[in-house]
């Protein structure tokens, strides 16, 4: 199915990302419905150019030269719910703001995503990144993803067991990158379910607030407070840390022997370590960065670390994408030299 396309040329992408840097898209389409996404794919095939998909731009670094591609900005909206076997299934279009979906779930008394409050971006990104925070991941609740298969041109439903979910990863991100355009996501939530409070920061904040038996609303408000304290809720135009991708580096997950070697190099038995179900060990990227010589607020020119959160790389006035990339590499090199671990960036890079 095709529809008439309104294609713009040379649209600046920096203002459409939370980092705020980067060049223009050669062609640009804003898609309010699935037919427009399909038509954009058909146009890209006809003109033998690449198709790129833009959501909220909260996890994206665009090169200063921009991208020679058709960039489709996903603006599909709509939320519907249905009761299924004692659960509530919520299906949201890919262009819905993610935090609005979390708010809806909490207001309806449904557990499953309350710890994911305040995460910027749109619904469509959540299965791609397997978005997670404070003890929850979206893979805990996702039952299906509606997506356009750019290989066949058909719209299909991908069940959760075929999504290849892993830590900040999925089949949509690394399994078959570029093949799928997420159109909608279905989450199975727990009506009247208990909130998730396993994460230490959340427990401490709840105790401070005097929440002995916290509600879903208590947990949501607590998570939002934690994120604001780290400049990780992008709703403050006066916050000097606001132009970032959030956490720029993944927490490394190593084999037990490798983690032991890092501990030995650190010379600190209190180094944070979290054993994983598969026998590997997750380390704290923030801890490694700080011990490699980068304090909060460390800066080179127009780019530096957040003054509140070591994992966030911030672009200040005058920064370019090349500056962001150079600073990130400086951090990676320092950690690799000090600990023998090369940190993996979390954002997606276009043209870099």
In-domain check, residue 322: yes
Cβ atoms of 338 and 290 closer than 8 Å? no
Give the pLDDT of residue 176.
85
**In this structure, what token pair is assigned to residue 174?**
């690394």
Please give the DSSP secondary-structure letter assigned to residue 160: G
Burial of residue 17, with CB atoms counted within 10 A of its CB: 0-12 exposed, 13-18 middle, 19 or more buried: buried
My answer on whether 120 and 224 are in the same domain is yes
Catalytic residues: 168, 247, 346
Question: What residues does 54 pair with on adjacent strands?
Answer: 73
pLDDT of residue 175: 82
Structure tokens at 316: 């200040």
Summary mean pLDDT of the chain:
95
pLDDT value at residue 1: 44
In a domain, 239, yes or no: no
Last residue of a domain, one of 165, 200, 229: 229
Model pLDDT for residues 1-31, shown as the tens digit of each residue: 445 799 999 999 999 999 999 999 999 999 9
pLDDT of residue 238: 81
- What residue numbers bound the domain in which 13 lies? 8-74
Note the pLDDT tens digit of each residue in 187-208: 999 999 999 999 999 999 998 8
In this structure, are 88 and 165 located in the same domain?
Answer: yes
- Flag whether 237 is in a domain: no
Q: Which residues contact 305 (CB under 8 A, 6 or more apart)?
A: 289, 294, 295, 296, 297, 298, 299, 312, 313, 314, 331
Mean pLDDT per block of 10 residues along the chain (352 residues) reads 80 97 98 97 97 95 98 98 95 98 98 96 96 96 98 97 95 91 98 94 89 92 94 80 94 97 96 95 97 97 96 97 98 98 96 90
pLDDT at 211: 73
**Residue 326, domain member (yes or no):** yes
Q: What is the pLDDT of residue 147?
A: 98
Check residue 231 and give left, alpha or beta (phi > 0: left; psi -120 to 50: alpha).
Answer: left
Element containing residue 326 per DSSP (H, E): helix 321-339
Examine the fold and report which residue of 59, 74, 89 is the final residue of a domain before the chain moves on: 74
Write down the pLDDT at residue 42.
Answer: 97
Q: Is the dihedral of CA 43, 47, 52, 55 positive or negative?
A: negative
pLDDT for position 3: 58
Which candidate, 228, 286, 284, 289, places its Cα nearest to that of 259? Answer: 284
CATH code (residue 42): 3.30.43.10
Distance (Å) of CA 245 to CA 3, 32, 57, 173, 311: 34, 25, 8, 17, 10
Four-residue CA torsion sign, 319, 323, 327, 332: positive
Query: Residue 115 corresponds to which tokens in the numbers above?
Result: 């710890």
């Amino acid at each position: 199915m095709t529809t008439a396309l309104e294609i713009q040329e040379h649209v600046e992408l920096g203002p459409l990302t939370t980092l705020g840097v980067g060049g223009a898209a050669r062609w640009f389409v804003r898609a309010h419905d699935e037919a427009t996404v399909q038509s954009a794919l058909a146009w890209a095939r006809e003109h033998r150019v690449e198709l790129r998909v833009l959501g909220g731009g909260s996890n994206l670094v665009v090169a200063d030269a921009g991208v020679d591609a058709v960039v489709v900005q996903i603006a599909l909206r709509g939320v519907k719910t249905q009761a299924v076997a004692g659960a509530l299934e919520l299906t949201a279009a890919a262009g819905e703001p993610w935090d609005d979906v979390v708010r809806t779930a909490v207001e309806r008394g449904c557990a499953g995503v309350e710890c994911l409050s305040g995460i910027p971006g749109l619904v469509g990104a959540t299965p791609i990144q397997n978005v997670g925070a404070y003890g929850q991941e979206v893979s805990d609740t996702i039952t299906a993803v509606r997506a356009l298969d750019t290989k066949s041109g058909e719209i299909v439903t991908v069940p959760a067991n075929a999504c290849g979910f892993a830590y900040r990863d999925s089949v949509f991100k690394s399994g078959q990158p570029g093949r799928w355009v997420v159109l909608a996501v279905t989450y199975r939530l727990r009506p009247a379910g208990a909130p998730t409070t396993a994460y230490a920061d959340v427990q401490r904040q709840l105790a401070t607030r005097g929440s002995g038996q916290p509600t879903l609303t208590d947990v949501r408000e607590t998570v939002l407070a934690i994120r604001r304290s780290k400049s990780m809720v992008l709703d403050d135009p006066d916050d000097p840390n606001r132009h970032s991708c959030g956490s720029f580096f993944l927490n490394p997950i190593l084999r037990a022997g490798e983690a032991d070697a890092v501990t030995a190099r650190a010379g600190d038995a209190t180094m944070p370590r979290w054993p994983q179900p598969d026998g590997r060990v997750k380390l704290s990227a923030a801890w490694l960065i700080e011990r490699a010589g980068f304090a909060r607020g460390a800066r080179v020119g127009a780019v530096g670390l957040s003054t509140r959160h070591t994992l966030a790389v911030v672009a200040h006035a005058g920064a370019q994408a090349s500056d962001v990339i150079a600073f990130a590499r400086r951090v990676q090199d320092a950690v690799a030299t000090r600990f023998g671990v090369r940190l993996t960036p979390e954002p997606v890079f276009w043209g870099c």
